[in-house]
Every structure is written in C-alpha cells, then in structure tokens.
Amino acid sequence: MNDTLNITKGINALKEQIDAPTAAFFSSCVHCGLCAEACLFYTETNDPKYTPINKVEPLKRVWESEYTLFGRLKKALGLAKPVTDELLAEWEPLIYDGCTLCGRCSMVCPVGNDISTMIRKVREGMVASDHVPEGLVGASTRAVKIGSPMGIRLKALQAQIKHIERDTGLKIPIDVEGADYMALLSSMEIINFPEYIESLAKIFKQANVSWTLSSEAFEATNSGIQIGSSDIARELVQRIVDGAEKLKVKYVISPECGHAFTAIRWDGPNLIGKSYSFKVVHILELLDELQQSGRLKTQGMEDKKLTFHDPCQIVRKGGVEAQPRRLLSQVASQFVEMSDPGKMNWCCGGGGGVSANERADDVRLKAFNRKKSQLEEINVEVLVTACANCRLILEEGLEENNMDMPVVGLSELISEHLLEENAVEGERDE
C-alpha cells in the first residue's frame, strides 16, 4: 500500500460522513451540558472532557467550515478553527477510550441530538487519519486476516462443537444448505461461553427449529464497526451475507452480542448498499417468538433474586426491550429491574470497542462504578444479560469490586429451564 493514512484523508472522511441529521444536530446544540449527565464516563470521573458533545468537536469543525456559509466565510478569512493532526490525536482517547457508543446521550439531549451516531462518524475520520488505539487495530487485523478478532479459527469452533456434542448427545449442524436459520456466534461465546452453543442446540431441538452454523461465516462480531471503518466493516459483513446466501437460509440469528446485532441487523445492508435476501433476528427475538407461539416450553422457576442488564446495542440501539422481560417472566420468580432500566440502562463500560482497547482499562473500571452502584441498590444474587462482551466486562468488574455474583446469559437461563419431555438429565450440573 502506497496510500498512507493522514490528516487530509481524515478530514475528507469526516466530510463524507456529514449528512442532514448531523447538520441539524450541530445547529441545535445550545451547550446545556445535559449529555454529560447521561454519560457514565463523565458521571464516574467528573471530568468535563468526557461530555459527549465535546467528543464530536472535530466533526463540528469540519461541518462548520465546509457546510455552512458563515463557516466557509470564516475559513476564507482564516478565522475558522482548523482540524489538525494534533487535534485528532488529542481527541483519540475521548473517541475510543471514553465512549462505548452506548447512545444514552442521544436519549436525553433536549434538542434531540443523536450524539452517539456522530461519535461513530468521528471514528471514520480517526481511522482515515490513523488515530486508532492499538488494541482495536489488532482486533481488526485478526478479524480480517484470521476471521475473528480474537484469532479463533474454524478448527477451534469445531473442537468446541465436538466437545458439546459429546457432552449433550445433540447434533450441532454445520453448513446445512436450506436450513431456516443460520446462527452466528461471537468469538467470546466460542472461547469463554460455549454454553451458548449448547443452549441453542437444546432449545432448537425442543422447538424443532431447522438451523445451521456456517463454516465460512460463523463469526458475528465486526471489528470494523468498533474501530469505525466502513471499509473494514463492509468486508466482514460481506462474509456473513455470502455465507447465508450460499446456504440459502431464510434467517440469520444474531447472537448474544451487542455490536454484532447493530453490525449485521442495521448497518450491514447499508454497508453493502442493498437489502438482504434473508432476515436478521436477534436470538432474544427468536426465543420470544418461539415461546409466544408455544414452541418453546419451560418448566420451573429460578427463585433467586435476579436482574437483567440490557446491552446497549440490543435495547437502546436495537429495539429489543420487551422480549427479554417476557422471557424472564417465564423462568424467574424474583426478577427485579435496576434503576433506569430498558432503553435508559447504563452501559457496562466495555462496549463500542473499549473492551478491546487495553489503554482504556483504567477509565473503564472507573466507569463500572455506575453499574456497581446500580446493582448495590437492588441487592440481587444473579445478574442476567444477553451480550457476551457485557458478560465478560461485568464479571471482571464484579471481581474487581469483590462482588460475588454469577453473570448468566439469558439464552442459557432459558435452556436450563426447558421442559424436559423425558426428564432424563438433572436440573443442573453444578
């Protein structure tokens, strides 16, 4: 590659990103500061630089000097504040370490600015000017070159499948052409939480769902979305689209992973520039649908006091809010909501690529205090969520704060309470 990434390309990328909503948002901001109060990086550090609207300063400067008459006049007179390499370098930690793209700021802005979408746009400029954290570069490189941000190859998945098949006696279908559903997995599920795959197998067997995995497109995560490069994201989405089209499936199931849902459900078609030939559902949407239609039957109730952590990308940015609650009501007798539940939930602190960025570890742990105090308010025994990344971050945060509490995936919880027709196996292994 002869083309190096530089400030000119960065500014150009920002210029590409600005659209009518962006212009409306910048025109409307009155510097009221309320977005700061919605951002856990500000509330837990009290550092004003984490104020969401401050994070989009580079984009604002480009908008003003490129797309407003008055701004262009100022630029011509040399009065405009320029976007420089130094500025982007200074802003890089705010954009990548101090924002999980959780979108909470976009919910509270009184003039209705979708700030988090603008921060996502700034990342495009950061990528094009090479102001990206090492951790995300590594993850993206592995995703593109190996097929998974964590470097997992097909062999590793196959090994896990073999293991699960042996343990459960269930068949995990791979590359079954013409199946109704193609399930995707996140690397973390493959490595850290293989229970998810097991749960899928159990549930789909009971509900009689025709499904498969793809050996060419099993990875659901998309590092391109996290680092903020449409070019990389497009390449990764294309693999899934190709895999699904090859197997001629009707549906693709997004796993318990937040940004993967955003990537494949909402951004994917726009990245490849056309509608899919298949539909995308989140696993919680599918489970809810199966349960509502009576195909998924559960028995027994979890009687421990538990709560549900809404993954930002699934609830606030994905619109899946009622489903997990309906599912939980079937299997948990003592479900309680955290304060600010559902679409107003606070992020775990590790989304939007922050968990892949070691540089952000300290601030991320500080940000976790928000979740910690939320949990302390309700005093629960079990924490349920639906995102492998959240789950890992929550486990780490709880451990750091000496809070002893299991974190469970919702699909897994459901699978544990499946109505067992022959009641052969025990309730639980542990």
**In the complex, minimum distance from the CB of residue 119 to other proteins, in angstroms, rounded to a whole number:** 14
Q: Which is nearer to other proteins, 125 or 352 (CB)?
A: 125
Binding residue (CB under 8 A) for other proteins from 274, 402, 422, 426: 274
Q: Is residue 51 part of the contact set for other proteins (CB under 8 A)?
A: yes
Residue range at the interface with other proteins (CB under 8 A); choices 40-48, 152-160, 350-358, 390-398: 40-48
In the bound complex, what is the minimum distance in angstroms from residue 323's beta carbon to other proteins?
11
Q: Least distance to other proteins from the beta carbon of 189, Å?
A: 23
Q: Does position 291 bind other proteins by CB under 8 A?
A: no
| Residue 317 vs 391, nearer CB to other proteins | 317
Applying the rule CB under 8 A, the residues between 108 and 127 that interact with other proteins are: 108-114, 117, 127
Q: Which is nearer to other proteins, 42 or 181 (CB)?
A: 42
Q: By CB under 8 A, which span of 134-142, 239-247, 293-301, 393-401 interacts with other proteins?
A: 134-142
3-state SS track over the chain: CCCCCCHHHHHHHHHHHCCHHHHHHHHHCCCCCHHHHHCHHHHHHCCHHHCHHHHCHHHHHHHHHHHCHHHHHHHHCCCCCCCCHHHHHHHHHHHHCCCCCCCHHHHHCCCCCCHHHHHHHHHHHHHHCCCCCHHHHHHHHHHHHCCCCCCCCHHHHHHHHHHHHHHHCCCCCECCCCCCEEECECHHHHHCCCHHHHHHHHHHHHHCCCEEECCCCCECCCHHHHHCCHHHHHHHHHHHHHHHHHHCCCEEEECCCHHHHHHHHHHHHHHHCCCCCCEEEEHHHHHHHHHHCCCCCECCCECCCEEEECCHHHHCCCCCCHHHHHHHHHHECCECCCCCCHHHCCCCCCCCCHHHCHHHHHHHHHHHHHHHHHHHHHCCCEEEECCHHHHHHHHHHHHHCCCCCCEEEHHHHHHHCECCCCCCCCCCCC
Q: What mask, x for binding other proteins by CB under 8 A, covers residues 321 to 350?
A: x-----------------xx--xx------
User: x/- string (CB under 8 A) for other proteins, residues 232-271?
Assistant: x--------------------------------xxxxxx-
Among 80, 83, 95, 132, binds other proteins (CB under 8 A): 132
Cβ-in-10-Å burial (0-12, 13-18, 19+) of 291 comes to: buried
Cα angle: 54, vertex 257, 13; to 5 degrees: 40
146 touching other proteins, by CB under 8 A: no
When asked if residue 130 is in the footprint of other proteins (CB under 8 A), the reply is yes
Under rule CB under 8 A, residue 369 binds other proteins: no
Find the shortest distance in angstroms from Cβ 53 to other proteins.
7
Quick one: which segment of 166-174, 249-257, 276-284, 303-311 binds other proteins (CB under 8 A)?
276-284
Q: How far is the CB of 382 from other proteins (least distance, A)?
A: 24
Contact between 89 and other proteins by CB under 8 A: the answer reads no
The minimum distance between CB 385 and other proteins, in angstroms, equals 19
Least distance between other proteins and beta carbon 149 (Å): 11
Interaction between residue 180 and other proteins (CB under 8 A): no
Name the segment binding other proteins (CB under 8 A); options: 91-99, 138-146, 152-160, 197-205: 138-146
